[in-house]
Amino acid sequence: MTVIKGLARAEQIYQDREKRAKELKAEGKKIAGYLCCYPPLEIMTSLGYMPIRIMGEMDEPLTEADTYLPTVMCAFYRSVLDVAMKGRYDYLDAFIGAHACDGAERVSYVWRSYLKSPCSFYLDIPHTNHAAAIEFFKKQLFYLKEELEKTAGKKATAAMIKEAVTLHNKQRSLVRQLYELNKQDPPLVSGSEMLQVMIAIMCIPPEEGNVLLEEVIEEVKGRAEGPKKKKGRILIWGSLIDNIAFTKLIEDCGLNIVIDDTAIGTRSFWIDVDETEDPFDGLAIRYLDKIVCPRTFRDTKNTRMEDLDNRFSYLKKMIKDWNVNGVYMNIIRNCDIHGYEISEVRDYFEEMGLPVLVIEQDYSTTALEPLRTRFQAFAESIN
Amino acid sequence: MIFAGIDIGSTITKVVIKQEEEIRAIIIQPTGAEHRRLAHEVIKKALNNADVTFDQIDFIVATGYGRINVPFADAQVSEITCHMRGVSWLFPNVRTVIDIGGQDCKGIKVVNGKIRNFIMNDKCAAGTGRFLEVISETLGLKLEDIGEISLRSNDPAGISKTCTIFAEQEILLRLSEGVSIEDILAGLHKALAGRIYSMVGKIKIEKDVVITGGGAKNIGLCKYLEKRIGFSMLTPPEPLITGALGASIIAQEMVTKAGEEKLAHIKKERKLEAVTFFDEAD
Amino acid sequence: MGDKKKKKSSAKTLQTAREAGNFGKKILASARTAAEEGKPIAWSMVDWWLGGTIAKAMGVELCYPENYGAFCASVRRAEPYLDYAESDGIPNTTCGYARNCIGYTRRLQENNFVIPQDAPGGGMPKPLFLLACGAVCDARYKWFQSLGRYMNVPVWTLEFPQTGVAEYYLAGNKEENIKFMVQELREFVSFLEKLLGKKMDWDNLSERLDTIFKTHQLAHEVDILRKSVPSPAVNTDFWALMIPHLYLPDDPEALEFYKRVYEEVKYKVDNKIGAIPNEKYRMAFSELPPWHTLGLFDEFAEKHGIAFVIESWNYHAPSPLPESEREGITDPLELIARYSYHKFNESAPTAKKYCMDPTIFTAPYLKWVEEYKVDGLFCHPLMSCRPATYTLMHLRNLLMEKFKVPSVVVEGDIVDLRVFNEEEAHAKIDAFIETMDYYREIRRKEGFGW
């Protein structure tokens, strides 16, 4: 029997995202589903929970969501609740909602009102990175740990959490290594492959994810048939893409996706957790302050330029290091936190001389085809 | 050398046949449901008008939303790039193109004949030619007349809706209140101009502004749009063909870039009889 | 033709409600006067008395862009600002108040920060800083941050934790929330002291707090009086009356005004005078109103005898802070934190009772339908305001499941009248009357009290 490894394995997991979780559950392992990139994985892992990222489904027509959520809200979170109400996440032992944004917050509330998991926790997340906010967030993480402990049947010691930090930091380091390979031209990993790997490692235990990442890195380093050289080397900015139909459409139009600043991508993995004496310090700082997402307000600086750099200079570095020549700003319709940022980020990229394409999309694969012309024209406009 | 550009839009198909700097033929006709069948017919008609044979055409570029369904085209280029090229050829100083088509509305920012930025709406009929079509149907008027009529108003009615369905209802309401057709049309054109302005404004409207597409033929819309923008716009002699014209220019550029001897490599196997999918369609 | 035109604004049923609009004008006028005198001005979000009171105690005059958006909409002057914001890249799905403000600020900047002559209501002067708030809605800090494109003024974001129902009851968590709020308020005081170059006037703050509690006590008593049948006041009265208690409760004039409101409402209750002449149906409204078309509710009253007896949870003054929470607290910042947190979480026991989340925007209505004998809920999902819309469908499910109270959904917007369809609203309400009759019968059979 041949063992499926590397990219093929990632694709397999991507196609059937809950499969591994359900297998492990059958073996007695507990599964914790969480929203967005803010609930610390280390706490779940240390208590023997396998963390799985809750996602929507672009291919699935919304049939249940309208009963619970109005049409004007975030298309992604509508889909999340839609598939959840259809039973996709019924097997979860713990549901961890989060105040990542209004959409995540309110969906957490509505979810909990109808779907009752043995353990259910709503993680409040402050809006600023002030010292008091980090302290408060740390306390909330402590409550999360205590709630999970009730159903885990064990207590998480500092040593156990530190061990989980090391494990997840290793994953982060491997993800960064993989992205590094896209600095070359053509990149070694296509945007669609990268997305499959990112989703895969969010749906299997971190140990297995690390093995998968190592396999993928080895595989793509040695392969001849990687992505072709294309005119565009683009960065995707925005909340998230979780379906390769989207990345394939983009890459069909003469663009290579070489790097991203999205929540199912670098935002979830870019920064390590510091190995602090009290592990909750490292966790609170990393998850509240170091993850860069427009949902966290950063105090205004003295000048406009300082303020923009304080918020966006990491993008400048990504553009330079990955030799990016175009930016696609992906806005899921009705996303407030990214919506207000459009003009600011667009101008910031344009100041760097980069062509920028902004699309507000509806999080539905059936609505993708009309976007082809825009990506094509965008590719034609890149020099 | 002779080049052809074919633009299969959502409602109208256009063909331009061009020889060096001279336009040999222009065809404009409604798009049918079966693009390929139509594509064959229109190109035949255009060849006839230009008095050339299919083999004499050196390169064909297809554009428009039906572009992938043109089996005898040598290359496909997006309509955004084609419009920009067509307009730049006609107006070398153009900075902003506003294209109001049947199903969508585009704004293109041009710097030195290159696309700097663009924006497009296709979410709903608001802000497109379809909006005006529905309105003229509701009022029982001809589409080509409504712009003219709207200019007779001294007191545009307050129309707040640009959603096509809501606007229809609002028109009926205004009619029942006894508001005149001129004033209603003026209000509608004003509302539509506002909608287009705020969309295209995202790419910053700068002089020279050229308006193309079916919307350019509506004098009322142009007037209200100019009022919002604050200066006048330029209109091509035939605003519908800038996409096809651009496609024919790009065809020429592709050949120049490749060199004539390499042309054979670029050119795909294509023959006129290749368009025998009449059987296939039947 | 003119006489055929429908009236868009509401006539209101209370004399005091008709006068309340003056407070809105007063806010803008005082800010402009202060600006002329060189005094500090800030633009502030509604923050449920958390930070605004502190700023005022430091001598800062506040104007409220959310209120300004509602005002521009009510005089139907918002569209040009919405357009102008959208043309700078702000999606047309973002908050109507925000787009109104962003468009306005863009104009202000282009006019070198001299208020344009044609600004509705005389306009808002350029602020020294922007006071954002994290409560309820992401837009309310992202929008102020995005104004950085037009003016270089600092933004302060007030933290306002949002607690889940189960988490509210976790041992010690409520105190953690309060502690966090107090720490952040202290930070805000430092920010102000540095910016203004002067010290906090603590006595002034305590005085203001005292006035707030008194004004709100009256506002809350008015809310209780509204439980009477027939209802002495309706939603359109409340949406006018709320201006003094939401924005100026620390103003002695507002307190005096509320004494008169109380008298007027009390008189009507004592004499069984209904707000509308022939009250047949009692409805609740959630959540934010169509400011541009408030006259609609007068039409519903006239046509069907519908009295909107309770509405807009977020605009209401809370019940007084329990003695147990006030006892021994000398730090005014802690008192403020406790009070604002109380506003948001006072319905937690109701939420717990019905095993649901969230407390905000939802649980209060579960109490209200019984107390106010509500026959139906008017849900107003907003095209541009998600936070006040997210839980509406959830709320309508709960009201049906727990109380057999039906609801009608009419989509619209707070500011953007381009997306509101009056005719559709009428058609839906016409049909909803029968639904309310039907469920009245069901409730009677099932032994509900109304």
Could you tell me the residue ranges of all domains in chain B?
A: 2-82+241-281, 92-229
B273 pLDDT exceeds 70?
no
C117 to chain A, minimum CA–CA distance in Å? 27
User: Confidence class of residue B277 from pLDDT cuts 50, 70 and 90?
Assistant: very low
| Least confident window among C322-326, C369-373, C422-426 | C422-426
Q: What is the pLDDT of residue A366?
A: 85
Which residues in chain C are contacts of B161 at CB distance < 8 A?
Answer: 418-419, 421
Check CB contact under 8 Å for A66 and C392.
no
Residue C5 confidence (pLDDT) above 50? no
pLDDT-based confidence at residue B281 (cuts at 50, 70, 90): very low
pLDDT over 80 (residue B208): yes
Of the listed ranges A99-113, A145-159, B153-167, C395-409, the least confidently predicted one is B153-167
**In this complex, do B78 and A377 lie within 8 Å of one another by their Cβ atoms?**
yes
**In terms of CA atoms, which chain C residue is nearest residue A308?**
C148
Q: What percent of chain C stands above pLDDT 70?
A: 98
CB contact under 8 A, A343 and C149: yes
CA of C1 vs chain A CAs: smallest distance (Å): 36
- In this prediction, residues B122-127 reach a mean pLDDT of 65
Joined tokens for residue A379: 């590719």
pLDDT average, residue stretch B217-231: 93
CA dihedral B187, B192, B196, B198 (to 10 degrees): 50
- Inspect the interface and report whether the beta carbons of B160 and C86 lie closer than 8 Å: no
Q: Which residues of B touch C106 (CB under 8 A)?
A: none
Distance between CA atoms of residues C316 and C48, nearest Å: 10
| Chain C nearest C-alpha distance from A304 (Å) | 6
Name the residue among B169, B178, B194 with its Cβ closest to that of C83. Answer: B194
B–C CB contacts, 8 A cutoff, strictly below? 44
Burial class (CB in 10 A: 0-12, 13-18, 19+), A276: middle
Q: Are B199 and B123 in contact (CB under 8 A)?
A: no
What residues of chain C lie within 8 A of the CB of A136, using their CB? Answer: 159, 161, 176-177, 179-180
The answer to whether A208 and A20 have CB atoms below 8 angstroms apart is yes
Band of residue B123 on the pLDDT scale cut at 50, 70, 90: low
The average pLDDT across C34-61 equals 96
pLDDT of residue C1: 33
Model confidence pLDDT, tens digit, residues B151-165: 999 888 877 776 777
Worst-scoring range by mean pLDDT, A366-375, C240-249, C256-265? A366-375
Quote the minimal CA–CA distance from C357 to chain A in Å.
Answer: 5
Q: Note whether C4 contacts B199, CB cutoff 8 Å.
A: no
Going along chain A from its start, the domains and CATH numbers come out as 10-156 (3.40.50.11890), 161-381 (3.40.50.11900)
- Tell me the one-letter amino acid at A85: M
Q: What is the pLDDT of residues A226-280, one digit of tens each?
A: 999 999 999 999 999 999 999 999 999 999 999 999 999 999 999 999 999 999 9
- DSSP structure string for A12-71: HHHHSTTHHHHHHHHTT-EEEEE-TT-S-HHHHHHTTEEEEE----TTS--SSHHHHS-T
Answer yes or no: is pLDDT of B261 > 80: no
Say if the Cβ atoms of C93 and A341 lie within 8 Å: no
Model confidence pLDDT, tens digit, residues C51-75: 999 999 999 999 999 999 999 998 9
| Percent of chain C predicted with pLDDT > 90 | 89
Which residues in chain C are closer than 8 Å to A130, comparing Cβ atoms? 159, 184, 187
Residues C127-141 have pLDDT tens digits of 999 999 999 999 999
Q: How confident is the model at residue C415 (pLDDT cuts 50, 70, 90)?
A: confident
* A100 φ, ψ (degrees, to nearest 5): -70, -40
For the stretch A90-114, pLDDT in tens is 999 999 999 999 999 999 999 999 9
Average pLDDT of span B99-125:
85
Q: Which of B160, B200, B203, B227 would best serve as a mutation to test chain C binding (most C beta carbons within 10 A)?
A: B160
List the CATH code of the domain at B2-82+241-281: 3.30.420.40
Min Cα–Cα distance to chain A from B12, Å: 18
Give tens-digit pLDDT for C208-227.
999 999 999 999 999 999 99
C 159-188 residues with CB below 8 A of A?
Answer: 159, 161-164, 166-167, 170, 173, 176-177, 179-180, 183-184, 187
Report the residue of A231, A381, A383 to disrupt the B interface, i.e. the one with the largest count of B CBs within 10 Å. Answer: A381
Q: Would you tell me which CATH number, out of the four given (3.10.310.10, 3.30.70.3270, 3.30.420.40, 3.40.50.300), belongs to the domain B92-229? A: 3.30.420.40
Residue entry with tokens 């996709």 = A88
Terminal-to-terminal C-alpha distance of chain A: 48
Quote the pLDDT of residue A1. 62
Q: How confident is residue C7, by pLDDT bands cut at 50, 70 and 90?
A: low
Domain pair B2-82+241-281 / B92-229, same fold: yes
Lowest mean per-residue pLDDT among A12-16, A39-43, A354-358, C8-12? C8-12
The pLDDT tens digits for A278-308 are 999 999 999 999 999 999 999 999 999 999 9
Contact B80 A374 (CB under 8 A): yes
Could you tell me which chain B residue has the CA closest to the CA of A362? B123
Contacts of B162 in chain C (CB under 8 A): 418
Distance from CA of C36 to the nearest CA of A (A): 25
User: Which tops the pLDDT comparison, B21 or B243?
Assistant: B243
Q: How far apart are the first and last CA of chain B?
A: 36
Determine the pLDDT at residue B125: 65
Which pLDDT score is estimated for B162? 67
> Which residue, among C118, C113, C112, C81, has the nearest Cα to C96 in the 3D structure?
C81
Q: Which of the 8 DSSP states describes residue C447?
A: T
- How many C-beta neighbours within 10 Å does residue C224 have? 12
Task: Report chain B residues touching chain A, CB-CB < 8 A.
Answer: 65, 77-81, 114-120, 122
Between A34-38, A176-180, B162-166, the lowest mean confidence (pLDDT) is in: B162-166
- Beta-carbon contacts of C136 under 8 Å, excluding residues fewer than 6 positions away, are C160, C162, C314, C360, C387, C388
**CA C114/CA C192 separation, integer angstroms:** 25
Asked if B82 contacts B61 with a C-beta cutoff of 8 angstroms, the reply is: yes
Would you call A355 and B114 a contact, using CB atoms and an 8 Å cutoff?
A: no
The CA distance from B70 to the nearest CA of chain C, in Å, is 35
Asked which of B22-36, B257-271, C200-214, C368-382 is least confident by mean pLDDT, the reply is B257-271
- Supply the pLDDT for residue B61: 94
Q: Which of residues 342 through 371 in chain A touch B, CB cutoff 8 A?
A: 355-356, 358, 370
Q: How high is the pLDDT of residue B36?
A: 61
Instruction: Show residues of chain A in contact with C162, CB under 8 Å.
Output: 99, 105, 124
Choice between C25 and C318, residue whose per-residue pLDDT is larger:
C318
Instruction: Kindly report, residue by residue over C160-207, the tens digit of the pLDDT.
Output: 999 999 999 999 999 999 999 999 999 999 999 999 999 999 999 999
Q: Is the pLDDT of residue B279 over 70?
A: no
**Interface touch B118/A381, C-beta < 8 Å:** yes
